[in-house]
Amino acid sequence: MEADESRVLASFAQKSGASRGRKYPESRHAYRTEFQRDRARIIHSRAFRRLEYKTQVFLNGTGDHLRTRLTHSIEVASISRTIARALSLNEDLAEAIALAHDLGHSPFGHSGEELLAQCMREHGGFDHNRQSLRVVELLEVAYPNFPGLNLTFEVCEGLQKHQAFYDPPEKVAHVSSLRQAGHKLEARATLERYWCPSLEAQIANLADEITYYSHDLDDAVDFEILSSGQLEENAVWRASQESVVVRYPDVREPELHKIIIRDIIDMQVRDVITTSAEAIANAGVRSADEVRRQQVPLISYSEGLLQMNRELRRFLYKNVYYHPRVAEVNQQACEMLRSVFEAYVLAPDLLGDAAEKRIESEGLHRTICDYIAGMTDRYLLEEHARLTETRPSLSR
């Protein structure tokens, strides 16, 4: 499979055989590449399973067909593979990053993240991207010889979204682990601090945006908080609606908006593929490390779509994320999150033995933050009920 990668993938793709390895040395697998192993470790993790019961936008349990963090992550992975395949990049790496990108998300979606950040303001803060790294590097307990999942450098690199710059791996920790595991390493120049991650990581980042732009619209229509008049105010929706009506003049709701959503996704993916292919060609990169030395990402939207997506983002915040039916119930949930956090601060023994043992090394507030961030929506509601002796419910 590594030989196939070298033959089929572009020179600037991140090859499995050229991975900078894992922090803790491990023997190579007989029939899976390094990134395929990472994907499997993520899928089989407890943190990944918990995503089924974590809010995307609409509180988990308020609708049978609404997205959760789990379905969102699977959809990001699907779009990531499509873009990676079209650009002759490493699909397994892009998919692994996509599947892991929300492992650190708190309960109750972005409202929960903001509340947890407030609770941690004087204790190092909270960001779900950094928390995803903590999950895979420390908090998952799956192996006897090391903490976390011991993922490859390239997957961990892809989880460090929105970084000003990236640090190369420690030569001893990563490269030596490959040599001990029997890898034949390609000669390459030493990386200094660099501006961009791999193209596969850039794809997962943009696929995340494409997915939540389109599917948050879809869920909002299903949840009946967006009218057709409001939707037609948005340029992205309007462009796809006009295209769909020409192709399917007889289609009506509820099928119509589903076809429009699919058209939005297809248009966004097509734009990213063509724009990125041109940027890669113009940059003249010939290796994954040359990609990393670029000062701006090569995976991107066209300028026209970038502006339309900025408008779409503002539209979603105004009409969906801050809509009373969304904001009010999320606010109730977040007050419960704050109450649980404060209860743990006053009585750390409530955390349980496993979490309580980390207080000495991680500090009380970080340990509480890790514990709450790992909760599902329903578990936090149950924990709030247990601590306050009330029935776990939210008005909807």
**Interval 332-348: pLDDT, tens:** 999 999 999 999 999 99
Alpha-carbon distance of 17 to 63, in angstroms, equals: 44
Confidence at residue 254, expressed as pLDDT on a 0 to 100 scale = 84
Q: How confident is the model at residue 181 (pLDDT cuts 50, 70, 90)?
A: very low
Alpha-carbon distance of 314 to 110, in angstroms, equals 15
Average pLDDT over residues 221-235: 91
Structure confidence at residue 329 (pLDDT): 86
- DSSP structure class, residue 138: I
Q: What is the pLDDT of residue 190?
A: 64
pLDDT, one tens digit per residue, over 76-126 is 999 999 999 999 999 999 999 999 999 999 999 888 999 999 999 999 999
Question: Can you tell me the mean pLDDT for 244-267?
Answer: 94
Flag whether pLDDT at 390 surpasses 80: no
What is the per-residue pLDDT across 42-62, written as a single tens digit (0 to 9) for each?
Answer: 999 999 999 999 988 877 666
For residue 136, is pLDDT > 70?
yes
In the predicted structure, residue 174 carries a pLDDT above the cut 50: no
For the chain, the average pLDDT equals: 90
* Predicted pLDDT at 393: 60
Q: What is the pLDDT of residue 175?
A: 45
| Angstrom distances, CA of residue 282 to CA of 10, 11, 113, 286, 326 | 15, 15, 39, 11, 44
- What pLDDT sits at residue 44? 98
Q: Compute the C-alpha angle 179/182/184, nearest 5°.
A: 75
Confidence of residue 316 (pLDDT cuts 50, 70, 90): very high
131 near 374, Cβ under 8 Å?
A: no
pLDDT over 60 (residue 185):
no
pLDDT given at position 186:
43
Residues with Cβ within 8 Å of 35's Cβ and at least 6 positions away in sequence, in order, are 16, 19, 90, 92, 93, 96, 152, 154, 155
Q: Which CATH class is domain 2-195+221-227+315-325?
A: mainly alpha
The pLDDT assigned to 72 comes to 95
Asked if residues 305 and 115 have their Cβ atoms less than 8 Å apart, the reply is no
Distance CA 23, CA 37 (A): 15
Q: pLDDT value at position 392?
A: 59
Give yes or no for residue 10 having a pLDDT over 90: yes
* Sequence ranges of the domains in the chain: 2-195+221-227+315-325
Residues 6+ apart with CB under 8 A from 17: 2, 5, 6, 33, 183, 184, 186
Q: How far is CA 61 from CA 39, 67, 109, 165, 394, in A?
A: 28, 10, 13, 39, 11
312 sits in which H/E element: helix 303-316
pLDDT for 348:
94
